[in-house]
Amino acid sequence: MSERQANTPDTQEDGATPQNGANGAGGPGGDGADTATTATTAATGETRGIGDSTRAVRAGLPEPVKHEPTLPGPVFAAHFHLPGEPTGPYAYGRDENPTWTLLENAIGELEAPGEEDVRTLVFASGMAAISSVLFSQLRAGDAVVLPSDGYQALPLVREQLTAYGIEVRTAPTGGDAQLDVLDGARLLWIETPSNPGLDVCDVRRLVEAAHAQGTLVAVDNTLAGPLGQRPLELGADFAVASGTKMLTGHGDVLLGYVVARDAELIAPVRHWRKIVGAIPGPMEAWLAHRSLATLALRAERQTANALILAQALRDHPEVSGLRYPGLPDDPSHALASRQMRHFGSVVSFTLATRERTDRFLGALRLAEEATSFGGVRSTAERRGRWGGDAVPEGFVRFSVGAEDPEDLVADVLRALKESAD
């Protein structure tokens, strides 16, 4: 067995954590660990940190073995051969799977490059990952601070938390308003940029205030992704995301993940995954891992396209409330520039009425009317149709894909013109 393949979870006892280091499965000191996080400059012989594309292409791969594939295929197993005492990494399919392990290694490398002590857990969906942190870390009598302008499923979570005797406080993302309701909270939940409004908060500032009073911090990193923002580097205790979005990027996988450095903090998250069975299938995990190889390419193209589209809409007479953190005049741009490495692929704006927006969406040819974001094919929707988001009826969340920017901009401007009153 190769050095990378040997780096698997140690045990299946409740609360155990896999030793999936952020520098790959090779473990400290091995050749695999070195090559996963550094590269040698040919001219000087000096080592340096590798770039995002190189890391994404190679993240989580096992050590090469003759006649074996570079990325092993999915392991379909409900149980594993286990004679004698139930020791070792793989016993039952609800606890662990070798395909998950490789993906968890890969995500850990992207979220926390070069860190050997990071732990990653993958889940069946983003909401499964979110729920696992909230319900594993909170008890009756605790208080949690949620964003009032976050993902529209959070109010459903709030109802359940309240039913369990947990105090839920909310405040907007912008202006670091969550600081105003932080006192005495057990957990601060940050979503930055916020979905769908694209407000940004100062993660470092909120983390410093939270940790000063013993409050844990989790950051929903879905809109930025691991190449756009690294919450653990900003001081957060947990980085949480829906891998359904840009991480996998093809609109064909539901996935979520949680990353943390502290083994004691992530142990109850693992236990929660075990008891509720919120696990990804091996095929989904394998598809997600395969998709990571193009993550940097997709992110570069989609974020560039998003900025081009936002610039094209900036002076359009029918567009109001345009938001994209990458625009120099966006209210969040200065702060986003300090803590984000790219600004994501989502642009939001508002048209005058619900009817006007529906006509515009129906006139688009290169953007599908669908709910999600981060995929290679552009999608757009009138977000108010779902309820739960405090947005105008004409609010549009536009997820910018990897199309040629000239084609996409032309299609959007044509749709705006043809759907006008």
pLDDT at 235 (0 to 100): 98
pLDDT at 7 (0 to 100): 36
Secondary structure (3-state) at 324: coil
pLDDT digits (tens, 9 = 90+) for 301-319: 999 999 999 999 999 999 9
* Beta carbons of 192 and 219 less than 8 angstroms apart: yes
Q: What percent of the chain shows pLDDT beyond 70?
A: 88
β-strand pairing of 143-147 with 38-40: unpaired
pLDDT at 48 (0 to 100): 58
pLDDT at 1 (0 to 100): 34
Query: Residue 369: pLDDT above 70?
Result: yes
Q: How far is CA 406 from the centre of its chain?
A: 28
Contacts of 323 (CB under 8 A, 6+ apart): 197, 198, 199, 330, 331, 332, 347, 348, 349
pLDDT digits (tens, 9 = 90+) for 18-68: 334 333 333 323 333 333 455 544 444 554 588 999 999 999 999 999 999
Q: Which sign, positive or negative, has the C-alpha torsion 278, 282, 284, 290?
A: positive
Give the other-Cβ count within 10 Å of 195's Cβ: 27
pLDDT at 421 (0 to 100): 78
**Section 381-398 average pLDDT:** 88
Burial letters for 310-320: b for 16+ Cβ neighbours within 10 Å, e otherwise?
Answer: bebbeeeebbe
| Predicted confidence band of residue 109 (pLDDT cuts 50, 70, 90) | very high
Query: What does the alpha-carbon distance between residue 302 and residue 29 come to, in Å, rounded to a whole number?
Result: 37
Burial class (CB in 10 A: 0-12, 13-18, 19+), 334: exposed
Contacts of 315 (CB under 8 A, 6+ apart): none
Q: What is the DSSP letter of 178?
A: G
pLDDT at 19 (0 to 100): 38
* Beta carbons of 168 and 162 less than 8 angstroms apart: yes
pLDDT at 2 (0 to 100): 35
CA angle 339–343–346, rounded 5-degree value? 140
Return the half-sphere exposure (C-beta side, CA atoms, 13 A cut-off) of residue 362.
9
pLDDT digits (tens, 9 = 90+) for 341-366: 999 999 999 999 999 999 999 999 99
| Predicted confidence band of residue 86 (pLDDT cuts 50, 70, 90) | confident
pLDDT at 9 (0 to 100): 56
Nearest to 241 by CA among 189, 283, 198: 189
pLDDT at 393 (0 to 100): 93
Q: What is the DSSP string of 235-274?
A: T-SEEEEETTTTTT-SS----EEEEES-HHHHHHHHHHHH
pLDDT digits (tens, 9 = 90+) for 170-217: 999 999 999 999 999 999 999 999 999 999 999 999 999 999 999 999
Cis? peptide before 193, omega within 30° of 0: yes
Query: Residue 142: pLDDT above 50?
Result: yes
**Section 216-239 average pLDDT:** 98
| Predicted confidence band of residue 323 (pLDDT cuts 50, 70, 90) | very high
| Predicted confidence band of residue 223 (pLDDT cuts 50, 70, 90) | very high
